[in-house]
Amino acid sequence: MKITETIFQDGTHKWVAIVRDPDKPNFLVDTNEYLVTHGGQGMLLDPGGAEIFPAVFSALSSEFDPSALAAVFASHQDPDICSSLALWLEFNPKMRCYVSWLWNSFIPHFGGTAETFISIPDEGMDINLAGLTLRTVPAHYLHSSGNFNLYDKVAKILFSGDVGAALLPADQNGLFVEDFDKHIRHAEGFHRRWMGSNEAKRRWCERVSQLEIDMLCPQHGAIYRGADVQRFISWFDDLQVGIVKG
């Protein structure tokens, strides 16, 4: 079963990280899911693949009633992001899925009806969660061509999807980055290969540098916090991406 860790709380406003599953088969990539709650409503960010649904569901159930999930946010269209969609919809068929307009006719192959999907325009949009404004931040081509991060101005948290992701060895399973230099070695290959555009990367670095961020939460690996957030942005800015070895 996955572990839940509350990474921010102020009254009903809460961010919960759903991470690390010791029982997960090795052939499935490890993913982080995040639950944002406010005023009794909940939104699950990158709900994960169908095969890990039982682990995510049971972890989430310990924090929040899954049938009260108002929405899920899908950073992009990959199966490890949202192939569990149909299963979440079994608990609340009225749940909405926010996703780039680019994928709103692709993701329905994972489940849902025309009413399920709310298209995010390329420039992004605000999502209202019981009075809390969450801003979708464009991160196109990092790695998906229709890709978004989600920024919570109040909690100062940026959910960065695949940006900042690290494929960590089993013995490095901490929730937060503790040793940036050691950690980033596990992120380098991923970013060089998965991120397709240096120009897109540059724009993203400029865009997020203007945001006040206490925590940068990727979909794989550990969370960057404090000074490691800016350290990561600078490291990423200097990195040449879109490269295949050999």
Site residues for other proteins per CB under 8 A: 1, 50-51, 53-55, 57-58, 61-62, 65-67, 86-87, 90-91
- Closest contact distance (angstroms) between CB of 126 and other proteins is 30
Across 72-111, b (16+ Cβ under 10 Å) vs e yields bbbbbbbebbbbbbbbbbeeeeebbbbbbebbbeebbebb
- Closest contact distance (angstroms) between CB of 80 and other proteins is 15
Nearer to other proteins, 57 or 151 (CB): 57
Nearer to other proteins, 58 or 119 (CB): 58
Structure tokens of 126?
């605000």
For residues 147 and 162, give the distance between their C-alpha atoms in angstroms, rounded to a whole number: 9
Q: Is the distance from CB of 30 to CB of 20 less than 8 angstroms?
A: yes
Nearer to other proteins, 79 or 242 (CB): 79
**Eight-class DSSP state of 146:** S
- Closest contact distance (angstroms) between CB of 67 and other proteins is 5
Nearer to other proteins, 50 or 239 (CB): 50
For residues 25 and 226, give the distance between their C-alpha atoms in angstroms, rounded to a whole number: 32
- Closest contact distance (angstroms) between CB of 23 and other proteins is 10
